[in-house]
């Protein structure tokens, strides 16, 4: 007895797709193909954008490096000038008490009252071949004494700089201010044999009468 293909598959007959089902299958396949193409294209566009951003960033960095190289001689000259104005201290000598004394002297001349002095550890600025030390201060006084202190500090130039200046005025009166600030000192270290007059001190600021 001869069995047809449907019989050989356990009696299942092969169903032919009608025209409507064929169209639906083609549409479904087209949608899937379109979705895959969109994902591939979107991935390529994202990668292209990333490459363009990297290229732009590299161009900007190269331009900045070129500008810095062009300015390097001037910057080196400015740094040398500033270094010549900075105090020199003997290598290995603890400067905490000396810096605190100099801050106190500066405050006395301006009429500002220092209620606390806390020197921090010294930091070596390797790229500049300089040293930095900070003194944390708490203070009280009038607005005039604070302005006088800041003015005298500004007269010192690059020797010292103030940061984290905070003030409180709980009573609402201009002569009862208080707060904190940090003074950063920058200086060089040299062998003791090169120091002939002892530790360099801060340059003398312009004399101002103590503020009330």
pLDDT, residue 199, reads 44
In b/e form, how buried is each residue of 71-97, taking b as 16+ CB within 10 angstroms?
A: eeeeeeeeeeeebeebbebbeeeebee
Number of H helices, E strands in the chain: 4, 6
Tens of pLDDT, residue by residue over 110-129, are 999 999 999 988 888 887 78
pLDDT, residue 198, reads 43
Structure-token pair, residue 196 = 């002939």
**Rounded alpha-carbon distances, angstroms, from residue 91 to 11, 79, 193:** 102, 21, 10
pLDDT, residue 70, reads 63
Residue 145 burial (C-beta neighbours within 10 Å; 0-12, 13-18, 19+): buried
**pLDDT block averages, 10 residues each, the chain of length 212:** 48 60 72 75 79 77 68 60 76 87 90 91 85 92 90 82 86 78 88 62 50 45
**C-alpha dihedral sign at 79, 83, 86, 90:** positive
Q: Which residues contact 178 (CB under 8 A, 6 or more apart)?
A: 115, 138, 139, 140, 141, 167, 168, 169, 170
Structure-token pair, residue 89 = 């201290």
pLDDT, residue 209, reads 47
């Amino acid at each position: 007895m001869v069995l047809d293909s449907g019989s050989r598959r356990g009696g299942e007959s092969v169903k032919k797709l009608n025209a409507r089902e064929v169209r639906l299958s083609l549409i479904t396949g087209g949608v899937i193909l379109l979705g895959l193409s969109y994902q591939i294209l979107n991935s390529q566009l994202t990668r292209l954008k990333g490459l363009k951003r990297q290229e732009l960033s590299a161009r900007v960095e190269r331009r900045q490096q070129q500008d810095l190289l062009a300015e390097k001689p001037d910057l080196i000259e400015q740094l040398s000038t500033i270094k010549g104005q900075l105090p020199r201290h003997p290598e290995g000598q603890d400067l905490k008490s000396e810096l605190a004394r100099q801050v106190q002297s500066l405050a006395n001349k301006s009429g500002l009252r220092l209620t606390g002095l806390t020197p921090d550890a010294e930091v070596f600025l390797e790229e500049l071949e300089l040293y930095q030390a900070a003194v944390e201060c708490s203070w009280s006084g009038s607005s005039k004494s604070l302005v006088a202190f800041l003015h005298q500090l500004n007269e010192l130039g690059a020797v010292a700089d103030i940061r984290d200046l905070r003030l409180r005025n709980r009573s609402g009166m201009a002569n009862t201010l208080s707060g904190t600030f940090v003074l950063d000192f920058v200086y060089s270290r040299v062998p003791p044999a090169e120091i002939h007059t002892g530790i360099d001190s801060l340059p003398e600021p312009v004399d101002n009468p103590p503020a009330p």
